[in-house]
Amino acid sequence: EIRKVVQALEQTAREILTLLQGVHQGPGFQHIPKKCQKAREHFSTVRTQMESLKTKFPTDQYYRFHEHWRFVLQRLVFLAAFVVYLESETLVTREAVAEILGIEADRERGFHLDIEDYLSGVLTLASELARLAVNSVTAGDYSRPLRISAFINELDSGFRLLNLKNDSLRKRYDGLKYDVKKIEEVVYDLSIRGLNKEATVGAGGEK
């Protein structure tokens, strides 16, 4: 029963991902608000599926079955974080993700978003933004990589404050330095071509 619901969640996650991948194509930049709105509609399906999942096992046995939905939950955290970033260029909080997914942020209250699942999803967001920085340049948007760079550096500083004991999370965090490097290279290329000045002027009143 759990597996069936998890498969349905994976399918919804794939649909949201396919939709959001469109932002990487040139014309996709003009359609970001529309794509985010559509993605949010898909999250209402996620909430319904989560409600169904909660009924499939006793509340106090969350960690006994956690492995079944851990991967899809991390994927959904990433997708929710990506939507929020595209809308406001801010980092989504764990509480806000839990609300988007229709689950609890607090362990004591039942089916919740584990802190490590939240952090894994956020690290996947960093890789996606590194890719977006590269594709922004291709699309002629030179100010976005500068904003992504500032965001990722702040994210990296936050992760440096954590004492990560979890092996898989630690490995994922090690990948963050490559994302930082990749974005720094994009920003460096823009600066040696003088395009970052153009971006700063062009981004005057723009967020």
> Residues annotated as binding site for Mg(2+)?
128
Q: Are 13 and 76 in contact (CB under 8 A)?
A: yes
Contact in structure between 15 and 31 (CB atoms under 8 Å):
no
Residues annotated as binding site? 128
Q: Is 206 helix (H, G, I), strand (E, B) or coil?
A: coil
**Shortest CA distance to 37 belongs to which of 87, 90, 85, 74?**
87
Instruction: Please state, in angstroms and rounded to a whole number, the distance separating the CA atoms of residues 102 and 48.
Output: 8
**Which residues lie below 8 Å from residue 97, measured CB to CB, with a gap of 6+?**
77, 80, 81, 105, 113, 118, 121
Determine the Cα angle at 167 with ends 162 and 170, to 5°.
40
Q: Which tokens go with 139?
A: 């699309």
